[in-house]
């Protein structure tokens, strides 16, 4: 197993019960989320040692969030507690013609306000094999953008592999007029593994990708990414075909620096219980395969099955074990369509 450090904001998620709109009834369900923590929880389930690095509010909410991560096997010694507030997000799951609604309430959170030099990266990364980051962290403001870049650079300097999930969130960047292309390019330039599709690459590299087959667009984006980012060895993404709010088809693609493309054929996913965190579960599954040294085909099939399985688990975290993911891969419970 590997030692993985995840750096990012820990959020409380407040969601309307069932298919209700927000506060349709005066009741909300609470769980813990945050893209990087979601990846960490999956990796811990798959047997890795995962340390979370973050900053939370020094109050009962911050305590509860750190405790929840520990309950799922994460090491929280690197979670700083400072006076301030927790970031929140509100969710109203979609239903039929009504799309899901996500409302962030995280401006000025303890994490967003933490100074870039608040983290002792050489110490936090000592003994680690991987550092996982995502594009959510630099989208929160200049402090967190600098912190993410410092983390990635320290990892490179220490020989710790860097995994980066593009996770482009336009509304967060717009809130402070952040220069997403430049900042994301800087981070991707440190990455060994990149989770991103042609849309992310379009934002970062300004590429125009052919209106051809989805797979061709991913291939073109990957070629651009490998040309732009010297350390990059793997790029992975899912290809999603929406059916309706309850159901979609997901395929997976993993491209290597040598141009080899491994495909996981599309799986039909639905009825969807909760799709939030599906991308994080996919990233964790692919990382697990890369850590294990599996062949690219097995790695991407495992990642895709892990991402699909998350859609059947309520909350942000995927609690699926390796055996459960493998059972899904083998069982062909989903229709396999090309
Ligand atoms: O990938 C899941 C995330 O979207 C969720 O946990 C909230 O971190 C979050 C974000 O910034 O969107």
Q: So where are the chain's domains?
A: 234-338
What is residue 36's DSSP assignment?
A: H
Percent of the chain with pLDDT over 70: 98
8, 30, 38, 170, best to mutate for ligand 1 pocket (most atoms within 8 Å of CB) = 38
Residue 31 beta carbon below 6 angstroms from any ligand 1 atom = no
CA of 17 to the centre of ligand 1 (A): 19
Whose alpha carbon is nearest atom 4 of ligand 1? 35
- Of 268, 263, 250, the C-alpha closest to 335 is 268
Number of Cβ within a 10 Å radius of residue 245: 19
Q: How confident is the model at residue 211 (pLDDT cuts 50, 70, 90)?
A: confident
pLDDT tier at 337, thresholds 50, 70, 90: very low
Token pair of 267, please? 């799986």
| Under 8 Å between Cβ of 261 and 267 | no
What is the rounded radius of gyration, in angstroms, for the C-alpha atoms of the chain?
19
CA 182-252-129 angle, to 5 degrees, is: 60
- CA 258 to centroid of ligand 1, rounded, Å: 32
Contact 85, 56 (CB under 8 A): no
Residue 325: Cβ-neighbour burial (10 angstroms; 0-12, 13-18, 19+): buried
Determine if ligand 1 sits within 6 Å of the CB of residue 38.
Answer: yes
Lowest mean pLDDT among 47-56, 116-125, 240-249, 312-321: 240-249
Predicted confidence at residue 142, as pLDDT, reads: 98
pLDDT digits (tens, 9 = 90+) for 99-154: 999 999 999 999 999 999 999 999 999 999 999 999 999 999 999 999 999 999 99
**pLDDT category of residue 336 using cuts at 50, 70 and 90:** very low
CA dist 332 and 313 (Å) reads 18
Residue 69 confidence (pLDDT): 98
What is the average pLDDT across 38-67? 98
> Whose structure tokens read 């039929």?
96
Q: Output the six-digit token pair for 99.
A: 């799309």
pLDDT of residue 48: 98
In Å, the largest CA–CA distance within the chain is 54
Distance from C-alpha of 159 to C-alpha of 46, rounded to nearest angstrom? 23
The confidence score (pLDDT) of residue 65 equals 98
248 pairs with which residues across the strands?
242, 269
Q: pLDDT-derived band of residue 291, with 50, 70 and 90 as boundaries?
A: very high
Query: For ligand 1, is residue 279 a contact (CB within 6 Å)?
Result: yes
- The region of weakest confidence among 43-47, 93-97, 171-175 is 93-97
- What homologous superfamily is domain 234-338 in, according to CATH? Ribokinase (3.40.1190.20)
Residue 338: is its pLDDT beyond 90?
no
Q: What does the alpha-carbon distance between residue 298 and residue 101 come to, in Å, rounded to a whole number? A: 34
User: Interhelix angle for 35-45 vs 278-292, to 10°?
Assistant: 50
| Whether 258 is catalytic | no
Instruction: Give me the chain's average pLDDT, please.
Output: 95
The predicted model gives 163-188 an average pLDDT of: 97
Task: Decide: 39 in ligand 1 pocket, CB within 6 A.
Answer: no
**Do 254 and 300 meet the contact criterion of CB atoms below 8 Å apart?**
yes
Ligand 1: which atom is nearest the Cα of residue 316?
Answer: 6
- The pair of three-digit structure tokens given for residue 24, joined into one six-digit string: 């349709």
- Please tell me which residue, 331 or 282, carries the higher pLDDT value: 282
Nearest to 159 by CA among 123, 202, 194, 130: 130
The predicted-structure confidence for 12-34, as pLDDT tens digits, reads as follows: 999 999 999 999 999 999 999 99
The residue-averaged pLDDT of 260-281 equals 96
Model confidence band, residue 331 (pLDDT cutoffs 50, 70, 90): low
- Given a contact cutoff of 8 angstroms between Cβ atoms, the answer to whether 256 and 297 are in contact is no
Is any atom of ligand 1 closer than 6 Å to the C-beta of 281?
Answer: no
Question: 78 CB under 6 A from ligand 1?
Answer: no
Q: What are the tokens at 68?
A: 């929840």
Report which protein residue has its CA nearest ligand 1's atom 11: 136
Is the pLDDT at 268 greater than 50? The verdict is yes
Taking 70 as the threshold, does the pLDDT of residue 332 lie above it?
no
Determine the pLDDT at residue 160.
98
Looking at the chain, the whole-number percentage of residues with pLDDT higher than 90 is 93
Catalytic residue among 192, 200, 224, 280: 280
**Among the listed residues 235, 261, 262, 238, the one whose alpha carbon sits nearest the alpha carbon of residue 250:** 238
């Amino acid at each position: 197993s590997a030692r993985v450090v995840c750096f990012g904001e820990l959020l409380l998620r407040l969601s309307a019960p069932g298919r209700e709109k927000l506060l349709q009834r005066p009741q909300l369900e609470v769980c813990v989320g945050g893209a990087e923590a979601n990846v960490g929880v999956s990796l811990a389930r798959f047997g890795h040692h995962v340390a979370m690095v973050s900053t939370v509010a020094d109050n009962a909410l911050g305590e509860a969030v750190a405790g929840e991560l520990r309950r799922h096997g994460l090491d929280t010694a690197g979670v700083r507690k400072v006076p301030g507030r927790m970031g929140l997000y509100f969710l109203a799951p979609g239903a039929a013609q009504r799309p899901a609604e996500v409302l962030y309430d995280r401006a000025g959170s303890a994490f967003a306000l933490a100074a870039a030099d608040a983290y002792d990266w050489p110490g936090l990364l000592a003994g680690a094999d991987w550092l996982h980051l995502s594009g959510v962290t630099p989208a929160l403001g200049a402090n967190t953008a600098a912190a993410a870049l410092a983390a990635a650079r320290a990892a490179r300097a220490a020989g710790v592999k860097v995994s980066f999930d593009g996770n482009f969130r336009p509304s967060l960047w717009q809130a402070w007029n952040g220069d997403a292309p430049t900042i994301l390019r800087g981070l991707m330039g440190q990455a060994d593994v990149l989770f991103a599709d042609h849309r992310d690459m379009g934002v970062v590299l300004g590429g125009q990708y052919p209106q051809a087959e989805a797979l061709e667009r991913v291939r073109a984006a990957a070629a651009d990414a490998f040309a732009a980012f010297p350390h990059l060895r793997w790029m992975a993404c899912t290809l999603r075909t929406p059916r309706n709010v309850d159901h979609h088809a997901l395929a997976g693609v993993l491209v290597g620096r040598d141009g080899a493309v491994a495909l996981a054929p599309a799986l039909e996913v639905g009825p969807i219980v909760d799709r939030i965190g599906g991308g994080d579960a996919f990233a964790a599954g692919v990382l697990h395969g890369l850590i294990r040294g599996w062949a690219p085909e097995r790695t991407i099939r495992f990642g895709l099955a892990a991402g699909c399985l998350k859609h059947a688990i309520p909350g942000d975290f995927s609690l699926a074990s390796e055996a459960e993911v493998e059972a899904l891969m083998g069982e062909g419970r989903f229709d396999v369509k090309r």
